[in-house]
Chain A
Amino acid sequence: MAYPYLHESETRVLSEGFGDPEARTVAGWRALGGYQGIARALEIGREATIDEVKASGLRGRGGAGFPTGLKWSFMPKDARRPHYLLCNADESEPGTFKDREIIRWTPHQLIEGCLVGSYAIGASHCYIYLRGEFFESTQVLARALEEAYGEGLVGRDVMGSGVDIDITLHVGAGAYICGEETGLMSSLEGRRGEPRIKPPFPAAVGAFGMPSTINNVETLAATPHILRHGGEWYRQWGTEKSPGTKLFCVSGHVKRPGNYELPLGFPMMELIEEVCGGLSGGRALKAVIPGGSSVPIMSAEECVECDLCYEGVEAAGSMLGCASVIVMDETTDIVKQVRRMAYFYAHESCGQCTPCREGTAWATRILRRIEDGRGTEGDLETLVEISEQMTGTTICVLSDSLAMPIISSIEKFRDDYLALIRRGERLGVA
């Protein structure tokens, strides 16, 4: 089997079947130990399943890092109303490309994860919300799900246990905001993907008004392994606060971009220099966005001592998010990239909350002005002020997600902004 590049630091738990077309089938997935995790869950029961995931310390891989077992335990224990598991496969955070690999190489890994999650929270129906653009990976998952139904792994009486769990694929139509959990619920119900105020939390009032849990693809994909080998086994990797392995999505100016599965706590510079072969063209590092575009930008100095775990990146002044490491070399025009991000958030704002709807568009216009050499130093203060007004003032965190790169880039790369402003003044562009 072809495996183009495997670094010795890589620990393949979730990615073991990547690159092997056989792993897409039920038989291929079984050969890798598949469907043993759900079998064990069904054997030990709901509570013990949640306890096992709690013991593993698995944290949500969609960005927030909330402990998965704890999230599951919030679901009501009675079965008077239907419960739903929603799998968030609306992967659209710029810089993130891990869930698509899980889906297209190991669809049964996700299906098994959905079974484990559904069983743990007492859901008889799981919806996998796939982003619309994932046509090809969705077809692979669809064929795998048909196969799983055919083998009695999904549907009525899962593996002869007497438990019924249905899974339905739901395909979106292009909206970043549907990756926000309450926006996802709105969209699943056939509405505009507008987020809702919490509380009530989804575990109380979720999809279709019923108790629901939303988990990321990578989170669910990890659970069969945890059930099969035990929570303690999972803790052999990572740190006390960030156990396990994680798919790191590395993009930008490195020689070998791609997904690398590494233990959490892996040093950032080792990832960039060793695993990814260093920066392309031998240039110097300028900045890194460690967790997808919605987190503060880190300067090269901040990366030196940074370990890639939730607490490590936080200590370095940013957030691990979904571990989407965007590497930028010394030639990068930071202002242009921040402007491009701002444009993205303005485009994707659902428009419910004024600070977000107006703020993201306003910030984009100012950044464009600076980029074109028509900005003033006062614009930087205005940008910071707008960003502060966009933080913590809206239903969801979309506007906060833009505020963070803007504030951090002005703080750390002020000279880049000033150079454009000064040049414009000299040339008399304004």
Chain B
Amino acid sequence: MSEARFRNPGWAGNTGDFELTEAEVRGSEYVGRRSPDGGHPSVAPSLPYMLVAKNPDAPLLEGPYRERLGKIRSRYPTARAALIPLLNMAQEIRGHISPATMNEVAGILGLSEAFVRGVATFYTMYNKRPVGRFLVQVCTNISCNLAGADEVLAAFLEHTETELGETSADGDFTVAEAECLAACGFPTCVQINSRYFEDVSPEDVPALLARLRREVDEGH
């Protein structure tokens, strides 16, 4: 994952020469900034929910977030269907879903606490405990594994000085194993918060970690 050239063109033959920048491949300019109120109701349940900034004590439904929940609820015939979008929003704000958050969500939607607990613990993307500013998830499933994903995972653990599933001492990195991220042609794929980094090799890891730290320092 060198900076000079963005290796993953996204569709075919990642050995060619590309004229696309990283922003063009990611589509970040086209997307622009999405508003916390969710924008158009049709897309209100779709904001990214793994962010650098996390505030475990923040209120769930203030200002634009309350507005967004209203939009979300308008798109489904039942109150229950808003559960997963609301849990997503809770993680976006707080960084993880604690038992207290689950109960709060149950209260908002009029569902039983046990039901919400059952749902929240079913899905792997809900962090049941706090994670670092960057949640690094390395795919080790078959296609990435054939390309040496185990070594990439080991490199992340080594350079962040942490254990699998744990958070580094400085609170920056939690490193975990991920199941197939659907980027099998560009191994190894690593999901870091809401972004994918593809074609990552063990040698790329130190530069990638430095880049993440730099982005935070620069206020991205």
Contact = CB atoms under 8 A, between A and B. Distances in A.
Given A94-B180, A145-B42, A332-B146, A173 B126 contact: yes
A192 B124 CA distance: 12
A324 interface: yes
Contacts of B183: 97, 100
Interface stretch (A2-10, A42-50, A229-237, A310-318): A2-10
Nearest to B32: A143
Interface centre among B13, B24, B49, B84 (most CB of A within 10 A): B13
Contacts of B45: 168-171
B134 interface: no
B153 interface: no
Interface in A1-28: 1-2, 4-6, 10, 15, 18-19, 21, 24-25
A143 B42 CA distance: 10
A424 interface: no
B146 A328 contact: yes
Give chain A's interface residue range (CB within 8 Å of chain B): 35 or more
Contact of A255 (B15, B40, B142): B15
Nearest to B191: A133
B114 interface: no
Nearest to B38: A142
Q: Which of B10, B75, B147 has the most CB of A within 10 A?
A: B10
Contacts of B39: 142, 146
B13 A256 contact: yes
A88 to B, nearest CB: 13
Contacts of A225: none
Contacts of A164: none
A23 to B, nearest CB: 10
Contacts of B219: none
Main secondary structure of the interface of A (DSSP, over half): mixed
Contacts, number: 255
Contact of A136 (B15, B84, B194): B194
A228 B15 CA distance: 34
A249 B84 contact: no
B65 interface: no
Nearest to B195: A136
Given A95-B142, A326-B142, A146 B12 contact: no
Given A92-B179, A253-B146, A21 B12 contact: no
B185 A258 contact: yes
Chain B interface, DSSP helix/strand/loop, else mixed = loop
A208 interface: yes
A176 interface: yes
A226 B21 CA distance: 33
B30 A143 contact: yes
Interface string A175-189: 110000000000111
A324 B184 contact: yes
B15 A139 contact: no
A239 B37 CA distance: 49
A190 B108 CA distance: 14
Interface stretch (A64-72, A196-204, A339-347, A375-383): A339-347
Contact of A344 (B10, B13, B141): B141
B95 interface: no
A166 B42 contact: yes
Contacts of B78: 189-190, 208
A189 B27 contact: no
A105 B122 CA distance: 31
Contacts of B34: 139, 142-143
Interface string A132-148: 11111111111101100
A386 interface: no
A192 B118 contact: yes
Nearest to A192: B122
26 contacts: A15-B11, A101-B10, A105-B10, A139-B34, A142-B46, A143-B27, A146-B42, A168-B76, A171-B46, A173-B87, A173-B123, A173-B124, A175-B122, A176-B179, A190-B78, A190-B82, A190-B111, A251-B143, A257-B185, A258-B185, A260-B12, A289-B142, A328-B146, A337-B145, A341-B142, A344-B180
Given A24-B27, A337-B142, 13 more contacts: A2-B19, A4-B18, A21-B20, A24-B30, A132-B49, A133-B125, A136-B194, A140-B31, A142-B34, A142-B46, A170-B46, A191-B80, A251-B146
A-B pairs, 10 with minimum CB distance: A4-B16, A5-B13, A174-B125, A258-B12, A173-B123, A190-B83, A251-B143, A251-B184, A135-B194, A2-B19
